[in-house]
Structure 1
Amino acid sequence: MYRKEKTFQFFVNIILIVITICSVAPFVLMISASFSSEEALSFYGYTFIPKEFDLSAYKYLFSSTRALAKAYGISILVTVVGTIMNLVMTVLIAYPLSRKDLPGRNIFAFYLFFTMLFNGGLVPSYIMWTRTFHIQNTIWALLIPNLMLNAYNVIMMRTYFTQSIPTEIIEAAKIDGAHEGTILVKVILPMAKPIIATIALLVSLAYWNDWMNGLYYLTDDGMYSIQVLLTKIMRNLDMIKQASSTGKTVMANVPSTSVRMAIAFLGVLPVLAAYPFFQKFLVKGITVGAVKG
């Protein structure tokens, strides 16, 4: 029996190693390509070690260091503030919906679920946000549309509250004289660390990677997030490449491919740097049981 378990564990480890290599390899190729010369990429293709080490891509991107630093600052601010606001709103909606004694609970739940299936569409949403709420060229354009609240996250958190937190604990807190606010803050939230950490990770990644809202609602360069700025740089590269192919520009030597890889690396670098620290709290929240005997 022990031998079978050892063999099974060996094959599981092999499979996990292969999956890890397949996950890490694209990132290594991306980083290597960003530090390679354009000629080496054209001749040798993508390699794990740069054939010709070159910093032209990063020199091109950091030619406007001030704009890049400001875009990073805006993205960090939007990610932090947006994640906190999203979590607060999600908890404040999910917790009442998890209570069976909430008046009109089914009506509110249906309304929430309905928003997952139907929406007004892009054009009505754009008109509403720009003409009614006037968020164009403001920080709210990166915070509110499509990201401030997600019905799927609310349903996930409500399900966790319903299935993982016994009602007896809430009733015991009420007997001790605790009101709803105290129960939520001192009883429910400490027991809901796994789902809070999970939703915080999903929401923060959505905010950091968002560029569509910037594309729709921002025309002021000073309000660009890092993803919007990098997207604009990439579009400019496409325009330069098209112009150079018709002989209308002398900038054909711009490192197009390596710049694209450098753009991807700069976009994902903060996430790669922060995730190991965030993962520690995520794993801790998941492994700690909600009810301790």
Structure 2
Amino acid sequence: MSRTRSVNWGQSVLNLIVALFALFCIIPFIIILSSSMTKEMDILTGGYNLIPKTVDFSAYQYLFQRMNVVLNGYKVTTFVTIAGTFGSLAVTAMVAYPIALRRLKYRRVISGYVLLTLLFNGGMVPWYIICVKYLNLHNSLAALILPALVNGFNVFLMRNYFSTIPEELQESAKMDGAGEMRILWSVVLPLSAPVFASVGLFVALSYWNDWWLGLMLIDKAELQPLQLLLRTIVSNVDYLANSSVLSTSVDQMMPREGIKMAATIITIGPIIFLYPFLQKYFVKGLMMGAIKG
């Protein structure tokens, strides 16, 4: 009985610690949400608070006046995130699966090449020349997808998970006449949902939050991703607010801090709802992919 009570007491303490940690993680999001609905003068005089002193939706009104631009950015970013995530998972799996097989002759050489991409890069200027001049990745949706399609870390994470799958299953399928692609599709992939969920979440977050590719490779406003559009809006507001001619009137009209926080809320909303659907796979895939070298 005493042992049962001690276990229950220890579990209660652990639950309390996790609850407090979760609360600390939620507090910054609440502050951002509160600040997006707070008057500019209240933020400047009293700082950021959990509860707004005076509720003011002028920041959202300013962004909603440009709703057509924001919605277009949402369309571009949503398409890029979905297409990029599925494409990245497919290519990453086709790279990771062969180097996870012990029977592949030059798998260490291929692994070394993948590792090289994590340690060195050619620099921004050669990267830009290759993307624009040789690959013609300029002012197209492919420019927002292809440069970030494969990441060496994700390849190793997926490779390590594939290595945990017993090779006897693959050999059995091979004896039944299945080829490598058939084994990958029918045997390996159904057992790899955790690592696909983990890597997919990493890739989706990367594509959703990316603005660098749009800044470097996109000139057309209708092809700019959401993050870049909102970054441009915030930059324009800061520029107008700091103008010596318009500073007084703009300070009264435009809540600079509120617009920044409202832009954060608008961009973070959809992606934050993706995690609960992947939570049951996330930790397992991350651990299984990391412990086996």
Aligned position for 1:153: 154
Q: Is the 8 A contact 1:211 1:228 kept in 2?
A: yes
Give the percent of matched residue pairs that are identical in Structure 1 and Structure 2. Answer: 35
Q: Is the 8 A contact 2:194 2:281 kept in 1?
A: no
Q: How does 1:112-123 map to 2 (within 5 A)?
A: 112-123=114-125
Q: Distance in 1 between matches of 2:246 and 2:48?
A: 30
What are the superposed Cα offsets for residues 172-224 of structure 1, whole Å, 9 maximum, x if unpaired? 11122222222111110001111111100110000001111111112221111
User: Counterpart of 2:34 in structure 1: which amino acid?
Assistant: S
Q: Is the 8 A contact 1:95 1:158 kept in 2?
A: yes
Q: Does 2:130 align with 1:132?
A: no
Q: Distance in 2 between matches of 1:153 and 1:232?
A: 31
Out of 91, 94, 97, the residue aligned to residue 96 of structure 2 is 94
Cα 1:280–1:165 shift into 2, 3 Å: closer
User: Counterpart of 1:170 in structure 2: which amino acid?
Assistant: Q
Q: How does 1:28-43 map to 2 (within 5 A)?
A: 28-43=30-45
Q: Is the 8 A contact 2:195 2:282 kept in 1?
A: no
Cα 1:282–1:155 shift into 2, 3 Å: closer
| Deviation (angstroms), 1:134 | 1.9
Q: Does 2:261 align with 1:251?
A: no
Q: How does 1:1-293 map to 2 (within 5 A)?
A: 1-145=3-147, 147-162=148-163, 164-243=164-243, 246-248=244-246, 250-253=249-252, 254-279=254-279, 282=282
Q: Secondary structure at the match of 2:273?
A: helix
User: Counterpart of 2:105 in structure 1: which amino acid?
Assistant: P
User: Counterpart of 2:226 in structure 1: which amino acid?
Assistant: I
> What RMSD, in angstroms, separates the aligned Cα atoms of the two structures?
1.9
User: Counterpart of 1:177 in structure 2: which amino acid?
Assistant: G
Q: Secondary structure at the match of 1:54?
A: coil
* TM-score, reference length from structure 2: 0.91
Q: Secondary structure at the match of 1:251?
A: helix
| Deviation (angstroms), 1:286 | 8.8
User: Counterpart of 2:151 in structure 1: which amino acid?
Assistant: N
Q: Distance in 2 between matches of 1:191 and 1:128?
A: 38
What are the superposed Cα offsets for residues 158-178 of structure 1, whole Å, 9 maximum, x if unpaired? 11111x200111111112222
| Deviation (angstroms), 1:103 | 2.8
Q: Is the 8 A contact 1:38 1:256 kept in 2?
A: yes
Unaligned runs of 5+ in 1: 288-293
Q: Is the 8 A contact 2:139 2:219 kept in 1?
A: yes
Q: Is the 8 A contact 1:37 1:52 kept in 2?
A: yes
| Deviation (angstroms), 1:283 | 7.3
User: Counterpart of 2:227 in structure 1: which amino acid?
Assistant: Q
* TM-score, reference length from structure 1: 0.91
Q: Is the 8 A contact 2:85 2:203 kept in 1?
A: yes
User: Counterpart of 1:108 in structure 2: which amino acid?
Assistant: I
Unaligned runs of 5+ in 2: 288-293
Q: Distance in 1 between matches of 2:280 and 2:104?
A: 36
User: Counterpart of 1:239 in structure 2: which amino acid?
Assistant: Y
Q: Distance in 1 between matches of 2:181 and 2:105?
A: 18
